[in-house]
Amino acid sequence: MIDPNSSPWEAWLNKWFLLLLAPGILVNASGLFIRIIEPDGALYAMIARTIAETGDFIHLRVEGRDWLDKPHFPFWLAAISFRIFGINSFAYKLPALLFWAAGGGYVYRLAKDNYGRAVAQLSVLLYVSAAHLVISNNDVRAEPYLTALVIGAVYHFYKASRVRPGWHLVAGSLLTACAMMTKGPFVLVTIGGGLVLDWIISKDWAQFRNVRWWIALLLTGVFILPELYCLYVQFDLHPEKQVFGRTGVSGIRFFFWDSQFGRFFNTGPIKGNGDPFFYFHTLLWAFLPWSLLLYASVFRGFTRRAVSGDRMFLAGALISFGMFSLSRFQLPHYLNILFPFFAILTASYLYRIRRRVAVRVITVVQGAIVFLLPAMVFLLCWLFHFYGWLYVLLVFSGLSIFPFYWFRGNPLTSAVGRSYWMALLAFLFINCCLYPTMLRYQAGMVAGDYLRHQLPSCNILYMPEKAPENYSIEFYAPCPVRRMPLDSLPALLAGGQALFFARPAFSDTLLREGYHVDRLQRFPNFHVSQLSGAFLDHRTREHSLEWFELMRVSR
């Protein structure tokens, strides 16, 4: 058995922490320079663009219609960024990346307070290299904001429970309110669940009687007033508005109930079909390359007496994990807010490992992952067959050799160092090679670029009223995009011609109706956020595509 009083981590982290952290941040930041992905990312970007262009920070609108699904906070930040940096992909993604980075800072602080500097550094390395966090910094939705806000609120409330509350209570309440204004009141379970369960297990009943927590609830209620005001003005003051196909919809009720509890119980306007084991297998890829270590850390937390920090993080993560698993509405990115807890739990587990058998098992498991990650890259290169893929493989192969030279000696630190480096290489390949190539099949974005270069002076671009959602063309086109019913086309063309973006079947319909159609360009389309084997394989890709056309229509 390894000496229980010795640890290989301090010396290793003193040498490698900053050297590994820097490329981890750069890999996550590489998503800043990739176009926005359909459908949700482009939808959210379009909402924020409308706010930035109109100056109306109260109403959320899509295609001129009132939109009620998510709260305002991330749209406000993206709109402010648009006003500073202009309407572009970089400006949309930058605030989310900054929040993700702030989340890493809170991971460090919380882990350091509970376990010390070495575990804090290791937690941060796991946080910056978790697969779905890297993906979310590219395909930006609400999760990068929410991840930072939740772990930040937990940190400040944790400090407020152990020292004079002071500014920590105010900061925790403010971050909690911002988290609610990003996703809804369900975040209170994740923020408070671990702390409350830790108090119960440790029989710290005085916490429940402490007036500071009632003050925190009051402050949180005050801080969410801007959201409630916006919802009241847009919806509750106008019961005649039709939302979700009905009138009399209350925005405030939707915020407090239907947006989260309604989805959980499948009673709200947005429904799903949940699988109680969905997140168990989702974690296998979403928390790569650390997913199996995470399962081991959770198992250890159940089978051994846990310290206070373990209890708090384990409870905070598992209460929410169980809640998500029981929900009928499930998406992989919902787990992101738990990744800071997962990173700290896994780092604490790694730091405490002393048994040789455990070290051997981890070496074998992480060694398999170190092999599988480059194998995945090789397979994707061969399947997708993008231009220059052989040169990419050569560079990737060369960079893959370095960790076997750098990380030698202690088998545990070597396994972690190699896994980290291989994961970064795989994510860099996905961000800088795979996604830019796949986005050539995002028809709306490509058509927007075509218009910007070939028809920069176009006035309005039209889409059929019942055309599928294609928000990327609205974001990237140099002119406004409008939807219109076919029966209003004669009035539209009375003054000349109009520009349309639609499926080829629409142009065939127009030709049968006697209109003149000048087909300007065709664009292949595939929703790259929902990949399929047929699309990835260059031999079958053609059959998985749908097509859109840019056409000039006249009488």
Mean pLDDT of the region 302-326: 72
pLDDT digits (tens, 9 = 90+) for 437-466: 999 999 999 999 999 999 888 888 888 877
Place of tokens 């925005």: 251
Which residues have C-beta within 8 Å of that of residue 105, sequence separation ≥ 6?
none
> Which 8-state DSSP code applies to residue 296?
H
pLDDT digits (tens, 9 = 90+) for 52-108: 999 999 999 988 888 888 899 999 999 999 999 999 999 999 999 999 999 999 999
* C-alpha pair distances (Å), 365 with each of 44, 289, 300, 301, 333: 39, 10, 17, 20, 25
| Predicted model pTM | 0.91
Q: Is the pLDDT of residue 381 over 60?
A: yes
pLDDT digits (tens, 9 = 90+) for 283-300: 888 999 999 999 998 888
pLDDT digits (tens, 9 = 90+) for 138-192: 999 999 999 999 999 999 999 998 877 789 999 999 999 999 999 889 889 889 8
pLDDT digits (tens, 9 = 90+) for 340-357: 999 999 999 999 888 888
Mean pLDDT of the region 528-537: 88
**What's the CA gap between 379 and 397, in Å, rounded?**
13
- pLDDT level of residue 309 (50, 70, 90 thresholds): low
Which tokens belong to 279? 């997140």
Mean pLDDT of the chain: 88
- pLDDT level of residue 330 (50, 70, 90 thresholds): low
pLDDT at 2: 38
Edge-to-edge order in the sheet of strand 481-484: 481-484, 461-464, 497-502, 546-554, 516-525
pLDDT over 70 for what percent of the chain? Answer: 93
Q: Is the pLDDT of residue 262 over 60?
A: no
- pLDDT level of residue 117 (50, 70, 90 thresholds): very high
**What's the CA gap between 137 and 141, in Å, rounded?**
9
**What's the CA gap between 239 and 236, in Å, rounded?**
6
**What's the CA gap between 187 and 177, in Å, rounded?**
10
**What's the CA gap between 286 and 139, in Å, rounded?**
14
Which tokens belong to 108? 């460090």
